[in-house]
Amino acid sequence: MKRNIIPTDQERVMRDDDFIVSKTDPTGRIIYGNRIFIEFAGFTEQELLHQQHNIVRHPDMPRAVFDLLWKTIKSGNEFLGYIKNINKDGSFYWVFANVTPSKHNGNELLGYYSVRRKPNPAKVREISTVYREMLQEEKRIGPKNAIQSSQQVLNKLIEPTGKDYREFILSF
């Protein structure tokens, strides 16, 4: 499905008891989305199924964050992070995401399972600043080295804390 979504400044805020749930196959194609996911994404279930999960990726998100997400989950580990997604109508919504590999009998990768919840607004403001810096660097350096350069921006922010990415995100 080709996306021609024009981002707007209209924010959709998750309710305190909302949980967005989705499952993908090993390549990131959506095989399940709960009604809250469908609601916030703005697509019908039929429009979402078998599409790459990045159908809801907002252009304000640095590529380096998704590179880190994929490296983390492909290595068999859980990813936690703040993600800005886009609705089909161009509005956006922030989530605190937990993405984990889903395996059969402990070793055969079936895909990935993600649960997202309403993030703390103060933490979103903090991470928005970080993501803006990363995105500016990605645009400045160009596509060839964008991810590596953006990761360096993130690392420079994290290193003084003595934490890894997961600890940094959870310390907000």
CATH number of residue 84's parent domain = 3.30.450.20
Q: Are 66 and 54 in contact (CB under 8 A)?
A: yes
Residues 134, 64: contact at Cβ < 8 Å? yes
Q: What total of structural domains would you count in the chain?
A: 1
In this predicted structure, what is the pLDDT of residue 106?
Answer: 75
Instruction: Supply the range of the domain harboring residue 96.
Output: 19-171
3-state secondary structure of 1: coil
> Domain for residue 4, yes or no?
no
Residue 7 counted as domain residue: no
Please state the pTM of the whole predicted model.
0.94
User: For the segment 88-132, what is each residue's pLDDT rounded down to a tens digit?
Assistant: 999 999 999 999 999 988 789 999 999 999 999 999 999 999 999
For residue 1, being part of any structural domain is answered with: no
**Using one digit for the tens of pLDDT, what is the confidence trace for 42-98?**
999 999 999 999 999 999 999 999 999 999 999 999 999 999 999 999 999 999 999
Residue 152, in any domain of the structure: yes
Exposed, middle or buried by CB within 10 Å (0-12, 13-18, 19+), for 149? middle
